[in-house]
Chain A
Amino acid sequence: MTNKYIALPKGVSAENFDAAIRAFRKVLGDASVLTSAEQLAPYIKTMMPVPDADHTPSAALLATTVEQIQKIVAICNQYKVPVWMISTGKNLGYGSAAPAERGQVVLDLKRMNRILEVDKDLAFALVEPGVTYQQLYDYIKEHKLGLWLSMPAPSAIAGPVGNTLDRGVGYTPYGEHFLFACGMEVVLANGEILRTGMGSMPNSNTWQVFKWGYGPYLDGIFTQSNYGIVTKFGFWLMPEPPAFKPFVIQYQHEEDIVEIVETIRPLRISGVIPNAVVIAHALYEAPVKAKRSDYVSGPGSIPDEAVYRIMKDHKLGIWNVYAALYGTQEQIDVNWKIVTQAFGQSGKAKILTEQEAADDPAFAYRAKLMRGDMTLTEFSLYNWRGGGGSMWFAPVSQARGSETLKQMALTKQILAKYGLDYSGEFIVGMRDMHHIVDVLYDKTDPEQTKAAYQCFDELLTEFSARGYGTYRVNTAFMDKVAETYGPVQRNVHKTLKKALDPNGIIAPGKSGIR
């Protein structure tokens, strides 16, 4: 029996697991319960610098209905078997489709992929977890609904449910995705079905238009969490604007980030620039146009001198600010004047629009992201080092120039210590920034893999020591990040977990919660 499964859940005997698998098969049918090494291979590959064995699942369940999920949680409770949920399962750089802990059963909801409603007038969608952005994009186009999506850079292959539940971001005015979530259906560990907000009231038609419902607002506790399995998800869509003007503003010196942020913040808070602006470092954009090996060889991080050569050769700033204006042509004209005046003051900024930059591959994919079109061009990042190693380091910063400079300098210094490059960007919220750094390394090189692990650990330690918290992290470091937020929050998380899932069957370990 021990060899029958490639892994077992912690504390579950092979006999009990076998009985659970038989019960799952009764509910789902044999073809939807995967246990062989070959079937589970796609669930094992991660980009993290830890052995795959640490995150190997024991099985994967392909559920397609809410009723099946209710039955699955009943079986999990009976045999104390934990499940790890994925929706579209493309959490690349955060743990991919693999579970947090070895032996957990992946509950793969990709085949639960119906678009239940898209309301043209009220501009909202209600979807199941397996719906991809591509699927929704095609549906909107086919039905000529005139609505725009906001999605993360892996657009086509990822989906709104998984992305928003992990509190991901996009690049349109709706870029802070959870702000635009409205109503969820959740299967609880006891099998009950909760519809949040107005959805709790039978016959209500306001589930997707009013977020708060009555009493304590619950949606938040089902994000980055393990308190329930989300089976339906509502969110708002942006009406297609009559005009759209993407632009990039380039700067030549790293210290210029102070000026950039100080200029952008008032424009962003007042809504002159409405979208989630990106301030991308040259090394974040370079892989779209350049090869690392053309500029540097041997170990160590890339020297500044080589970065300047890349900038020159490939028409990049050291900082590249991608933003857009949306609205009628008249509105855009007025706001464009405000933007160019603000950025024109110091004489340091080079402002480019589609007229000058439409053919530039970096500009082209950024423009697509800012209007919710499908592109995977950002995957070029993985050609930089090669070897498939990547972790997103994602501390939050104030939208204050001096702070962003401090964070960048500290990140660069720690990365350099381990021979890694600063592939970083800031995604501008209104008052915050997600400082996003792709810690790229060659996973086929054991030394670099070890260095990447230590580097990431040090980044988290040093940042939290200075009060900089991380917004999201890969599954190998969830406990470490949970620690940085202090014991009281951890205790509250744990208390909720005990109340809602006393047997600990839903994704134990997510965000450090057990």
Chain B
Amino acid sequence: MKKIKLENWVSGCIFAIFLTISNTWSAQDEKTAPGFVWKDGAEIYAKICAYCHEAQVGPQIRHRELPAAYIRAVVRTGNRAMPAFRASEIDDESLVKLADFISKKETQH
């Protein structure tokens, strides 16, 4: 009788531990480091835009003094075959930096 009780207690404990672990899976993970964020306009340009715009796939866009508002609109809506980029990919703040990086005159670099 005693033995059975003990077994029940032990298995109950194990079950409780399992439950805590399975419930804390996500909670544990959420505490770790935050996700990726862009450093600056140059980084975004190099890691996204340059693969087409510096590779004769898309047109040259740097140093042409393209208006920043136009650049931002093209990034968000995509121009013809160019894919659109969402704020989840390039956040609004980073997009301002990117547009600035692209439209600056050559002499400023």
Chain A contacts to B: CB under 8 angstroms: 34, 38-39, 41-45, 47, 60, 62, 64-67, 70, 88-90, 92, 96-97, 108, 110-114, 116, 128, 130-131, 134-135, 138, 156-157, 185, 193, 195, 202-203, 231-232, 361, 374-377, 379-380, 382-383, 386-388, 390, 443-444
Contact = CB atoms under 8 A, between A and B. Distances in A.
Nearest to A128: B35
B6 interface: no
Contacts of A89: 86, 88-89
Interface in B40-57: 47-48, 51-52, 55-57
Closest 6 pairs between A and B when the two form their complex, measured CB to CB: A382-B81, A376-B51, A42-B84, A110-B88, A66-B26, A113-B35
A443 B79 CA distance: 12
B61 interface: no
A38 to B, nearest CB: 8
A490 B32 CA distance: 41
B27 interface: yes
Contact residues of B: prevailing secondary structure = loop
A379 B81 contact: yes
A110 B48 CA distance: 15
B7 interface: no
Given A379-B52, A382-B80, 10 more contacts: A45-B77, A45-B84, A65-B30, A97-B84, A110-B89, A130-B35, A131-B36, A135-B36, A156-B51, A202-B21
19 contacts: A39-B87, A42-B76, A42-B85, A60-B86, A66-B30, A67-B26, A89-B86, A96-B84, A114-B32, A114-B35, A134-B47, A134-B48, A138-B47, A157-B89, A195-B25, A202-B22, A379-B81, A386-B81, A388-B78
A108 B88 contact: yes
Interface string B12-32: 000001100110011101101
A51 to B, nearest CB: 16
Contact of B57 (A65, A67, A379): A379
Nearest to A287: B57
Contacts of B29: 66, 116, 232
B51 to A, nearest CB: 4
A114 to B, nearest CB: 5
B35 A64 contact: yes
